[in-house]
Structure 1
């Protein structure tokens, strides 16, 4: 039995409906954990419009934003209680291909039958509108830093260092040994932390070239100069707080390799540069970046101390943002 766990937060009805319709025929059960405010009825309205009932979907309305990690854990618990053997994780900004789950499941069973210890398999994902294909993080033997690798016809299965949350198919046995998501991360790096924890226990993470998924990286972009002009994802100040804080926290873990820590720190420096030089909310971004850095150092985790500012920031913590630097 495969149960899909979907985390939502004020979803756009049209997008959410497409996701539900794409998944309902591919899994045995949909578990939707809604982080939207109690006054937001989008999830229930979309389910009604799709004609989905209790036999197909379980919905938990949290009534507030408890973060992606805790919401995933709630959905995973539901899947386990319903007897699921495999869990498919998803956020609201993704759209799986019609055969994505089948391709992931077939590849996972093949690896398990060969005696491989696999924590998760994940699809290749493309950005909506641009069709840009995102690579997997891979460790090339003899290289200190990780590289980027793509699935190919010759090598459709890619050994990955990390997988993003959305589209991950995980055996329940792996969840039981590796553990649940760390709720104190709230949002950002939740999937990265779990990936490193799984690999430290001897598990493999595998990208599957036959499985495809589209993902929305965000509506806003920054025009940034770095050797050339390029478009980067724009984040509100509060999201920058979580990104910086959680990377610092993850870098303090002894099960994360030094090469990965250094390369991701360099990537984060690029995000900081982009927002402080080219961003719209430079002063607010600077304040939240500094606060995130400090809180990461002293281990102050969980939701931001002043949740009321979420509404002002335009922050959306519905799920992983799909970045796999």
Structure 2
């Protein structure tokens, strides 16, 4: 469990994973984090751009850059960052995507939410995608149904099954007990698997309504009957469907969660087959992902 000293005097390292980033947005992200954390680390996942050289030229620069020679996946890159943060004596890590922009007080709000929750696995912000009409809700499965927590007040701290990785604040003692991110998933369901594993170890994740972040989820959404449905590339759909099935094959994952998520996956399979363009590519990649998941195939595709 995190100690009182950790909570009172947090030494937070922000870990930004990049892959062909928009450098102007990355610069904004570093600038917004500069006064909120002790250290900023960029882990570059094999981008063509020389991120280390770019960083050195910035007025507000990250404290360190780890340049990986190839794209090893989001989980392995996060794990490399977590290991560096451990070596620096960090009490917490803050995981960030390259295209997320935290509010000026986001990290402080996340820390405040953790103070009286010694069994907290992590805390994450309410994020806004400018292409969506409303902030996505926090998710939790209850009584064999998906429950969508919406922030009724700005000070709500809501229990959830998992959080998206970007903006997720994790105490280092929790990582030491729960373990790092599962790198054979490569991308997609990495944050879900870790959140469920933390719950399996007796920890609880929380969504913090007073912590805010701008974040773009996937590509341009599909407009359907007045709703905007998130859309990813065919390759991301491969990982999404494969990794979902890999989690269904994992013994400790709650059976109730498997059933509810599998039903949602079936609905996604039908919806994206009909409405995601190019339809054939999405259908083929989703189907291939399902088959590879059933076969137990993991790693980079």
Q: Mapping of 1:198-213 within 5 angstroms? A: 198-213=198-213
The 2-side partners of 1:152 and 1:209 are apart by: 9
Q: Quick check: 2:31–2:60 contact (8 Å CA) kept in 1?
A: no
- 1:172 equivalent in alignment to 2:178: no
Report the secondary structure of 1:111's partner residue: coil
1:83-117 Cα offsets, whole Å, 9 max, x none, are: 101111111121110000011112212323xxxx1
- 1:77 equivalent in alignment to 2:83: yes
Which residue is 1:12 aligned to?
22
Report the secondary structure of 2:145's partner residue: coil
Which residue is 2:120 aligned to?
118
1:244-288 Cα offsets, whole Å, 9 max, x none, are: 000001112222222322222222223222321122222222222
2:108 to 102, 106, 109: 102
The 2-side partners of 1:99 and 1:253 are apart by: 38
Q: Quick check: 2:52–2:67 contact (8 Å CA) kept in 1?
A: no
Q: Quick check: 2:138–2:148 contact (8 Å CA) kept in 1?
A: yes
Which residue is 2:130 aligned to?
128
- 1:24 equivalent in alignment to 2:31: no
Report the secondary structure of 1:110's partner residue: coil
Query: Closer, same or farther in 2 for the Cα pair 1:267/1:202, shift >3 Å?
Result: same
Q: Mapping of 1:1-325 within 5 angstroms? A: 1-37=11-47, 39-41=48-50, 43-44=51-52, 46-53=54-61, 56-112=62-118, 117-130=119-132, 132-140=134-142, 143-153=143-153, 156-224=156-224, 228-304=225-301
Shift in Å at residue 219 of structure 1? 3.6
The 2-side partners of 1:160 and 1:301 are apart by: 27
Shift in Å at residue 154 of structure 1? 8.0
Shift in Å at residue 298 of structure 1? 1.4
Shift in Å at residue 48 of structure 1? 3.8
Q: Which runs of 5+ in 1 are unaligned?
A: 305-325
The 1-side partners of 2:76 and 2:158 are apart by: 29
The 2-side partners of 1:158 and 1:299 are apart by: 34
Which residue is 2:4 aligned to?
none
The 2-side partners of 1:291 and 1:138 are apart by: 28
Q: Quick check: 2:94–2:169 contact (8 Å CA) kept in 1?
A: yes
Q: Which runs of 5+ in 2 are unaligned?
A: 1-10
Shift in Å at residue 124 of structure 1? 1.0
Q: Quick check: 1:222–1:274 contact (8 Å CA) kept in 2?
A: no
Report the secondary structure of 1:65's partner residue: coil
Shift in Å at residue 161 of structure 1? 1.0
The 2-side partners of 1:131 and 1:220 are apart by: 13
Report the secondary structure of 1:47's partner residue: helix
Q: Quick check: 1:17–1:46 contact (8 Å CA) kept in 2?
A: no
Q: Quick check: 1:221–1:234 contact (8 Å CA) kept in 2?
A: yes
Which residue is 2:8 aligned to?
none
